[in-house]
């Protein structure tokens, strides 16, 4: 018979790992379920500059490696699996990954988010074949070639700067007439001679059968379209979407994000949410780990009181 855990943590990004550290240290029987590589979105970040105590060359990979080791040292168990359905209105609560079923007295949803897509023709087909959402993973493939970056926020400008390490030239394509990124980040980009800008522009179509060969850009001011051809890469950084489809109709949500209070309690008793998947104003590693710690302490309280 399967063991019933005190807490199941869904997601092993910074929020889930922090929750696992706190839950494990509180001696709760803890299971962490992760669909992909541990670390979530931060695993692809080359340099973490603003997490307190992290100094370059701290990367997402190095920080996550230590968090994971710490969670394991406190007894948290880890399994790999994609959660495809949950039953939170039963006791114990049930989490299913395909044929596998896990049960626990409480659950922390730290499922994170994934990169938003442009949604233009050719994007899905050419992902991994010239189109990327991860500069750290794919930047080195474009050594000496031009690359384009879509977006105007902090992520696009920071990743554009990182890509100048490899690319001959980096052009940021932004749909507005000015960037949205923090001024300090913008200034660095403006000073970088390898970075160019195409404002008021969107990507209409990506072309190529099994490799990106060309793309059609549209100028939003005059409607003109231009085809860019040759060997180049396209990196997309236009925000994130929460990994919450499974919880639709199960937990209270707002615009696809899980609603949780300051104690990370969701609309269902014994179910907590932490990190990028929940409604919040600042999505950073520092806020994710804080959420994770609070969620674990709240789960512990819930277990004590039930
Ligand atoms: P973001 O701030 O939401 O910016 C997304 C950008 O993509 C915006 O410029 C937006 O344009 C554009 N965009 C959205 N949908 C688009 C579409 N369909 N087609 C073309 N462009 C589209 O997202 P982010 O840059 O990923 O940042 C997310 C969060 O992480 C932010 O809170 C950010 O501060 C944080 N972050 C911080 C750092 C740092 O502190 N160093 C680094 C990376 C990320 P509009 O401007 O027109 O809306």
Q: Using 50, 70 and 90 to split pLDDT, how confident is the model at 43?
A: confident
Model pTM score:
0.79
Q: What is the pLDDT of residue 57?
A: 83
Q: Using 50, 70 and 90 to split pLDDT, how confident is the model at 55?
A: confident
Q: What is the CA(216)–ligand 1 centre distance, in A?
A: 22
| pLDDT tens figures, 139-180 | 999 999 999 999 999 999 999 999 999 999 999 999 999 999
| pLDDT tens figures, 117-147 | 999 999 999 998 999 998 987 899 999 999 9
Atom of ligand 1 nearest to the CA of 282: 32
In sequence order, what are the residues at sequence separation of 6 or more whose Cβ sits closer than 8 angstroms to the Cβ of residue 92? 4, 103, 104, 105
Using the 8-state DSSP alphabet, how is residue 121 labeled?
T
Catalytic residues, by residue number, are: 134, 137-138
CA distance 276 to 258: 9
- Across the range 250-275, mean pLDDT stands at 98
Pocket of ligand 1 (CB under 6 A): 50, 116, 118, 150-156, 158, 175-176, 180, 202, 237-240, 283
Q: In what order do the strands lie in the sheet with 131-132?
A: 131-132, 233-236, 146-150, 169-173, 195-198
Name the nearest CA neighbour of 8 among 92, 119, 130: 92
Q: What is the pLDDT of residue 102?
A: 98
CB 265 within 8 A of CB 108: no
> Which of 155, 174, 205, 288 has most ligand 1 atoms within 8 Å of its beta carbon, as the pocket-test mutant?
155
DSSP lists the bridge partners of residue 30 as 7
Q: What is the pLDDT of residue 137?
A: 79
CB 7 within 8 A of CB 104: yes
Q: What is the CA(240)–ligand 1 centre distance, in A?
A: 8
Atom of ligand 1 nearest to the CA of 156: 25
Q: Using 50, 70 and 90 to split pLDDT, how confident is the model at 48?
A: confident
CA distance 247 to 233: 35
CB 234 within 8 A of CB 206: yes
CA distance 237 to 233: 13
Question: Strands 85-87 and 93-97: what pairing?
Answer: antiparallel
- Across the range 44-51, mean pLDDT stands at 81
């Amino acid at each position: 018979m399967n063991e019933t855990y005190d807490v199941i943590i869904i997601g092993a990004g910074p929020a889930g790992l922090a929750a696992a550290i706190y839950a494990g240290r509180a001696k709760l029987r803890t299971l962490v379920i992760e669909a992909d590589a541990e670390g979530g979105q931060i695993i692809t970040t080359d340099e973490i500059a603003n997490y307190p105590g992290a100094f370059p060359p701290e990367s997402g990979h190095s920080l996550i490696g230590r968090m994971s080791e710490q969670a394991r040292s406190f007894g948290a168990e880890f399994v790999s699996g994609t959660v495809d359905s949950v039953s939170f209105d039963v006791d114990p609560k049930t989490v299913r990954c395909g044929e596998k079923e896990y049960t626990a007295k409480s659950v922390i949803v730290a499922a994170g988010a994934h990169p938003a897509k442009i949604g233009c023709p050719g994007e899905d087909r050419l992902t991994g074949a010239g189109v990327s959402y991860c500069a750290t993973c794919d930047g080195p493939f474009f050594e000496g070639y031009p690359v384009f970056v879509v977006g105007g926020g902090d992520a696009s400008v920071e990743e554009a700067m990182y890509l100048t390490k490899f690319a001959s030239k980096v052009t940021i394509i932004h749909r507005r007439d000015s960037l949205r990124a923090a001024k300090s980040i913008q200034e660095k980009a403006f000073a970088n001679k390898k970075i160019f800008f195409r404002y008021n522009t969107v990507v209409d179509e990506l072309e190529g059968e099994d490799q990106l060969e060309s793309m059609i850009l549209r100028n939003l001011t005059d409607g003109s379209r231009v085809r860019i051809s040759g060997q180049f890469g396209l990196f997309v950084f236009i925000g994130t979407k929460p990994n919450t489809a499974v919880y639709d109709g199960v937990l209270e949500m707002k615009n696809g994000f899980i609603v949780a209070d300051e104690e990370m309690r969701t609309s269902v008793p014994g179910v907590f949410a932490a990190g990028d998947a929940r409604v919040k104003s600042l999505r950073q590693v520092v806020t994710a780990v804080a959420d994770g710690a609070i969620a674990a302490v709240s789960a512990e309280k819930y277990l004590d009181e039930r």
